[in-house]
Amino acid sequence: MDFTSLTAAALAALAALAGGPQAGAPAEPGETGTAAKPIAHDLRITVSEDGSRSSSRTHTLTCEPTGGDHPQAEAACEVLLGANTRGADLFAPVGPETMCTQQHGGPATATVVGRWNGEPVHATFSRTNGCEIARWDAMVPVLPSMAAQPS
């Protein structure tokens, strides 16, 4: 084979590769490939029961498939995936015009960061009023139950 034919064959091979799955992209169903499908539900949950950084603890949680070091990973994923099915956004903050009861549910705070449905999440939780308490409680067992905290 001469140089021109060898160059043409190499370019044809490169063009065929360029038309296939891109590196890092998930393979289509039924395709084989080495690229792993990225996890669309991947969260880091930091909770402080007394509201201080020094007492906080952090857990990871992945869903579909369930994983991470969260102590109740399967139950937490069930809550979050159930909210997906209902179209609820458990990460959404309380609206600025929402009227909330003025009760205090304790000093606990939590932050959830990562990806849910492939979208970025950065949500903060507290128990500073009735709306925030209800929002926290809707996230149990993603967040720990604070039922024993003063109200």
> How far is the C-alpha of 68 from the C-alpha of 42, rounded, in Å?
9
Question: In this predicted model, what pLDDT tens digit does every residue of 65-118 receive, in sequence order?
Answer: 999 999 999 999 999 999 988 999 999 999 999 999 999 999 999 999 999 998
Q: Residue 46: which pLDDT band, with cuts at 50, 70 and 90?
A: very high
Q: Residue 37: which pLDDT band, with cuts at 50, 70 and 90?
A: low
For the entire predicted model, the pTM comes to 0.71
**Closest CA relative to residue 117, chosen from 140, 143, 87, 76:** 87
Query: Domains of the chain: which residue ranges?
Result: 62-95+102-150
pLDDT value for 15: 43
Q: Are 77 and 63 in contact (CB under 8 A)?
A: yes
Q: 40 — phi, psi (to 5°)?
A: -85, -15
